[in-house]
Structure 1
Amino acid sequence: MGEGTPRGLRESGSAEAEGASDGLRFELLGPLRALRDGVEIPLGPPKQRAVLAVLLLQEGRSISYDALVEAVWGGAPPLHVRNLVQKYVSGLRRALGGAAELVWTGSGYRLTGADADDLRERRRWVDEALAARDAGELRRAGELVERAEELWRGEFAEGLQAPYLAAERLRWAEKRLTVLEARLAGEIELGRSFEYVHELVRLVAAHPLRERLVELLMLALYRTGRSSDALTAYEAARQRLAEALGADPGPPLRSLHARILRQDPALLPRPPVPVS
């Protein structure tokens, strides 16, 4: 299952070795920061930081001047935007020193020798979690996803105002929720429904129209002997969807509701395998 699918874990990207080039590490899973040998370095004013974030997300590819302006300022840039771009590029070159190279290629700007290290590490943890899950190692898969979650320090590129980054922020919020849902599904499958009921209640309150979270909450409640609460959670979700979207719950949620009503024995946790 990929992150582009409703319940998956996979992320695109290579699983490179951990660590930053030349002692310089960049992080985007929270406020943008750059660390040289563990010490944070100043990156200049917010728009200069936004330029750096956009360049990091190109992963070594060139981005044209017009595309960079559109990414950072949108369709109505200030009149003196060309001077601003040149100023911010010069400022970034000074800040990064010789550890990374920011050049004009003739057709655009390219940043090399710099990676969003926390994104790369997260891809690796999630891909390894997927492999573990596919091998039936649910506990290890959960531990790997927790490692990926620990890399988050806030919202993606938190605090930086730029159209491109705003879109990326939404995309990464969705990716984060999808991985979280997969982790919680694994924990419930391991028989840990009781421990995660409260977390699921909180998540449903924070994302009231997200049906997968309601589905997991209903299953966790049912497996802890709270079938009436599971049915109540369904009815509350049905009402929210009707009021907000004029829609009924989707097939997976309706199917789980029907199975709980008939007390489908297949919904109960599997008995532990005896140790010989």
Structure 2
Amino acid sequence: MADGLRFELLGPLRASGPRGEVPLGAPRQRAVFAVLLLQEGRPLSYAALVDALWGEEPPAHVRNLVQKYVSGLRRAFAAAGGGPGVPQLRWTGSGYLLTGAEAADVRERLALLGRARVARDAGDLRTAVRLAGEAEALWRGEFAEGLAGPFLAAERLRWAEKRLMLLEARLEGELRLGRYHECVHELVRQVAAHPLRERLVWLLMLARYRSGQASAALTEFEEARRRIAVEMGADPGPALRALHERILRQDPGLLLAEPALVS
């Protein structure tokens, strides 16, 4: 990351420096910057940049538009202070190359998750859960929120899945720490937001059961089964069905301090 400048992508694209917010121009120009930022110092050909922004139907005079946006970004960088501490955007002969810039929040998230894995592997689940929560807190919205283009749309989907997987892992850790009641409230909200996400339903059923709400856990299963049947014409997966059966027979193993959760 350039000295004094910070770029973030875990939400709307944000650029800031000692003077405050750094304006990066209109939405399509900001999308150009986001695409180049995600190349992490690798050049991107003109054709690949056009494809990333417009797909198979670029507008007329697209070359002029690309040149306009690149020039606009260079002016924005110059206005941020100029000098070696500001990102550089140049044509290399093989593509556009952005240097001196990185997505700081993405880097910080990766570092937090690395520390969380180390803590987990060392048996310090409490620290691992805390660090995972700090990584989640870096999100301010959808990835590169509001910026159009096929490449960023695909990245948004990929990062939405990564975000949900971390949420599920963190909530699993919370359950292992015995925070059942707290987890119920959060999981109810998450299941409402992602009603077909069986992993979240699984965790909510377990949290309810371990909170002494066995009937509510069974109700969660029936509601999930109905949603899955209506939306997908299918039955719940084997992990959800297995947990349902264990709750029905009141399996003592479900009340152990650290149950064997599904992977």
TM normalised by structure 2 equals 0.93
Alignment partner, residue 34 of structure 1: 15
Quote the sequence identity (%).
Answer: 69
Deviation at 1:93, TM superposition (A): 1.0
Alignment partner, residue 249 of structure 2: 262
2:112 pairs with one of 121, 125, 147: 125
Deviation at 1:37, TM superposition (A): 2.5
Q: What is the alpha-carbon distance in structure 2 between the residues aligned to residue 96 and residue 103 of structure 1?
A: 12
Alignment partner, residue 56 of structure 1: 37
Deviation at 1:133, TM superposition (A): 1.6
Deviation at 1:21, TM superposition (A): 2.2
Alignment partner, residue 4 of structure 1: none
Deviation at 1:269, TM superposition (A): 3.8
Alignment partner, residue 159 of structure 1: 146
Which range moved further: 22-31 or 131-140? Answer: 131-140
Alignment partner, residue 55 of structure 2: 74
SS in 2 for 1:21: coil
Structure 2: which amino acid aligns with 1:66?
A
Alignment partner, residue 247 of structure 1: 234
SS in 1 for 2:89: strand
- String of CA shifts for 1:58-110, please: whole Å, max 9, x gaps: 00011110110010112111111100101111111111134111111111111
Contact 1:54–1:165 (8 Å) recurs in 2: yes
SS in 2 for 1:78: coil
SS in 2 for 1:230: helix
Structure 2: which amino acid aligns with 1:26?
F
Instruction: Supply the RMSD in Å over aligned alpha carbons.
Output: 1.2
1:183-194, aligned counterparts within 5 Å?
183-194=170-181
Q: Runs of 5+ in structure 2 lacking a partner?
A: 259-263
Structure 2: which amino acid aligns with 1:55?
L
Contact 1:28–1:116 (8 Å) recurs in 2: yes
Contact 1:189–1:269 (8 Å) recurs in 2: no
Deviation at 1:38, TM superposition (A): 6.5
Alignment partner, residue 24 of structure 2: 43
Structure 1: which amino acid aligns with 2:167?
L
Runs of 4 or more, structure 1, over 4 Å off, are none
Alignment partner, residue 142 of structure 1: 129
Q: What is the alpha-carbon distance in structure 2 between the residues aligned to residue 227 and residue 120 of structure 1?
A: 42
- String of CA shifts for 1:141-188, please: whole Å, max 9, x gaps: 111011111111111111111111111111111110100000000001
Alignment partner, residue 261 of structure 2: none
Q: What is the alpha-carbon distance in structure 1 between the residues aligned to residue 232 and residue 109 of structure 2?
A: 34
